[in-house]
Amino acid sequence: MWIIRGLKKGIITTQFPKKDDETIPNSYYPDNLKNCTVFSDIQDFSCMGCGICKSDMVRREDHVEVRKALPLKKSVHIFVLDVGSCGACNREISLLGAPQYDFHRLGFFTTPTPKHADVLMVVGELTEDMLPVLRESYELMPEPKAVLAVGACASGIYLKRIEKEVPVSARVSGCPPQPKYILKALLQITGRWNE
Amino acid sequence: MNEHTGEVLLAAFKENDGYSAVWMNYDTGKMRIDNVDESLLDERPITSAFFNNYDIDIRSLPSCAKILTYGPAAGGIGEAGAFRLATCGEKILSLVPYRGFKKSRSMLKMVKDMEVSRALPYFSRLSGQFAASYTTLFINLAFDDLDESFKTLSFAAVEMERIHNHVWVMHKLANDAAQKVASAHLSALTEEFLRLNSIVFGSRYLMDYPHLYKKYGSFHERLKELESEFNGLIDELLHSRIFIDRLHTTGKLNSEDVIKNDITGIPARAAAVPRDSRKFSVLKDFYVNHEIRMEEDGDALSRFLVRVSEVKDSISLLKETNLPDKIRVPEKPSNGLRYGLIEAPPGDIFMMVHVEDGKVKSVKIRPPSVVMLHAFSIGVRGNVFTDYPFALDSFGLYFADADLYGGW
Ligand code: SF4
Ligand code: SF4
């Protein structure tokens, strides 16, 4: 019986963002980026947390940067566009709907078309074939609109490529970023963080 | 049960002077590579998947047939990938994958001439859902100094990967069948497995696990809790007639389809064709007593049931595995040309790596998703549109993975 199963389990949805939730393990990052052996021009948003640089690896929050907020009082519709990901960022976004995060409770919903979207969430390294799709998706979105670059590929290593095509309003680091911090980015863009 | 499955065309690659073909015998574990001519392309339909040269044959379709492209951004695929399909409405008459939108191809080129140790993070990110399988296979082919504790850790990472992927496929299928409560429970369970991955292996998707692993004392305890949760959910779900009916007969491939099309992995086993590389893979020592899990009907339900059995097996194996206190990450490159297999969640990965002076000189990959896409294109024919998501999700494939096919 599903109902009994649900009742037995109790509430598993995080209290985040009302309270921080330390039961969700953060990702590893190096304690300093100086020893990076992967990128010559490493910066916070490009770090994959791979650990091969032999720096001490510490668990910490993913970085969130909001350049231009889009305060919205209504429900927010998100169009997710994979422009060439490895697939892991996609799953983390899907998991925002899992009971532990339940982003619907905070007014966020995904939409299958950019025509109904307030936020365009971009994941992956922009490939040639996805370039026109990115441009077109952005153009089809009604005003006002925001673009959130999710994950080290979109928000760090290949951010410039994406920025050439569409204005990036916010970004979140991580490879992949934790669902919790994708949620934080969404809350910050829409002016709902610490509301 | 089909005892003798013959030689399977595992991969074919275009070379300067023709084609090379990789053949695998799943009864004996023998793999061989030879040069073949172009006639192979006509004889073995799977080569369309390898060379991404599918075409819908309009002449074989009724005059009412229309051809549509579905994807790469919209349409519920959830990834940068697309399909071309032919229909007169209602039924899918023909469908072919349309791939090549992903980054993975450029990722693979980046590691050329890179020291093998530096290349590791790239192999972890070729295909995010199968990061442990790719990382483990690469390490086994490119390094010489793997000790027992490292091998044990690799085995555990690959089994955790099988579990989180299989449970996620189950979540998607429950969602497709509008079993919202079951689907929510299964996505919650996936999240719990990913958190356990993060605690033990340092990464939710097991990327870079050799560098991030830390012994976690309560691993077995937590695993047992999740096992009991999984068993309860599956018992419940298998009592749902709606769920069973939607999956039954959907996306069906029988054993002849499997054999004719060189299909391996879950869809082969779900059609009673025992193709499983675990006993011949780079981790074979851990699967000496492995029993191949199979079903008979070859439909989405059979694939679901194979996955259920495999999750149970993986959990049992992990409960008997003592994770090492510490590991030593392999460092000594193994120069030369080596190739091998690993059984990733949907099916096997073939990889060939050439290392010289400690640097990666060339790589060839046949990812499992390219085979799954081909299997899907056969299984979905004649299904109605509403069956499309069940058929697609039951293969557990990713375009990011399929686009890795090939080499340099
Ligand atoms: S963790 Fe990886 S990407 Fe980050 S600084 Fe170290 S080597 Fe560079
Ligand atoms: S940021 Fe990392 S997880 Fe996300 S698509 Fe890129 S490689 Fe994959």
Q: Which CATH number is A107's domain given?
A: 3.40.50.12280
CA angle A24, A33, A39 (to 5 degrees): 110
Q: Is A47 in the pocket of ligand 1 (CB under 6 A)?
A: yes
Please check whether residues A83 and A172 belong to one and the same domain.
yes
Within-domain flag for B179: yes
For residue B57, tell me if it sits in a domain.
no
Distance (angstroms) between ligand 2 centre and the Cα of B124 equals 10
Question: What pLDDT, on the 0 to 100 scale, is given for residue B104?
Answer: 64
Q: Is residue A102 part of a domain?
A: yes
Ligand 1 pocket member A50 (CB < 6 A)? yes
Q: Which residues 42-81 of B are in CB contact (within 8 Å) with A?
A: 72-76, 78-80
CATH number of the domain to which B300 belongs: 1.10.645.10
Q: Is residue B305 part of a domain?
A: yes
Asked if A46 and A79 sit in the same domain, the reply is no
Say if B114 is an interface residue toward chain A (CB within 8 Å).
no
pLDDT at residue A155 in the model: 94
Which ligand 1 atom is the nearest neighbour of the CA of A28? 1
Instruction: Name the 3-class secondary structure at A81.
Output: strand
Chain A nearest-CA residue for B187:
A98
* Nearest in space to B118 (alpha carbons), one of B397, B319, B305, B358: B358
**Structural domain harbouring A44:** 27-61
pLDDT of amino acid B105: 66
Give, in degrees to the nearest 5, the angle at Cα A37 between A34 and A42: 55
Q: CA–CA separation, A167 vs A169, rounded Å?
A: 6
What is the structure's pLDDT at A195? 61
What is the per-residue pLDDT for B194? Answer: 98
Q: Does the Cβ of A98 fall within 6 Å of ligand 1?
A: no
A155 and A103: one domain? yes
Residue of B126, B134, B206, B211 to mutate for A, most A C-beta atoms under 10 A: B211
Interface-testing mutation among B208, B328, B397, with chain A (most A C-beta atoms within 10 A): B208
SS3 B81: coil
Taking CA–CA distances from A57, the nearest residue in chain B reads B212
- At B3 the pLDDT is 41
Quick one: tokens of B68?
A: 């549509």
Asked if the structure places residue B36 within a domain, the reply is no
Give pLDDT < 70 ranges for chain A.
Answer: 195
HSE, side-chain direction, 13 A CA sphere, residue A186: 32
Q: Is the dihedral of CA B365, B144, B206, B362 positive or negative?
A: negative
pLDDT of residue B76: 59
* Contacts for B256 with CB less than 8 Å, ≥ 6 apart: none
Q: Are residues A81 and A176 in the same domain?
A: yes
- Domain boundary (A39, A61, A83) is at A61
d(CA A195, CA B7): 63
Is the C-beta atom of A176 inside 6 A of ligand 1? Answer: no
Structure confidence at residue B196 (pLDDT): 98
What residues of chain B lie within 8 A of the CB of A124, using their CB? 80, 102-103
Q: Whose CA is nearest to atom 5 of ligand 2?
A: A85
Please state the pTM of the whole predicted model: 0.97
Question: What is the per-residue pLDDT for B286?
Answer: 97
Domain count within chain A: 2
SS3 B143: strand
Q: What token pair was written down for B302?
A: 């059979």
In a domain, B96, yes or no: no
CA B126 to centroid of ligand 2, rounded, Å: 9
Which of residues 119 through 178 in chain B touch A, CB cutoff 8 A?
120-121, 124-129, 131, 168
Consecutive 10-residue runs of chain B (408 residues): their mean pLDDT? 68 92 96 91 91 88 91 75 92 92 75 94 96 98 96 98 98 95 97 98 98 97 98 95 95 97 98 97 97 98 98 98 96 96 98 97 97 97 92 95 91
Residues A43 and A123 in one domain: no
One-letter amino acid at B106 equals S
The minimum-distance atom of ligand 1 relative to the CA of A37 is 7
How far away, in angstroms, is B357 Cα from ligand 2 center? 30
Instruction: Work out which ligand 1 atom sits closest to the CA atom of A29.
Output: 1
Flag whether A98 is in a domain.
yes
Contact check, Cβ <8 Å, A176/B101: no
Q: Which of A167, A84, A2 is nearest to B237 (CA)?
A: A2
Give the range of the structural domain holding residue B302, as residue numbers without chain letter. 106-368
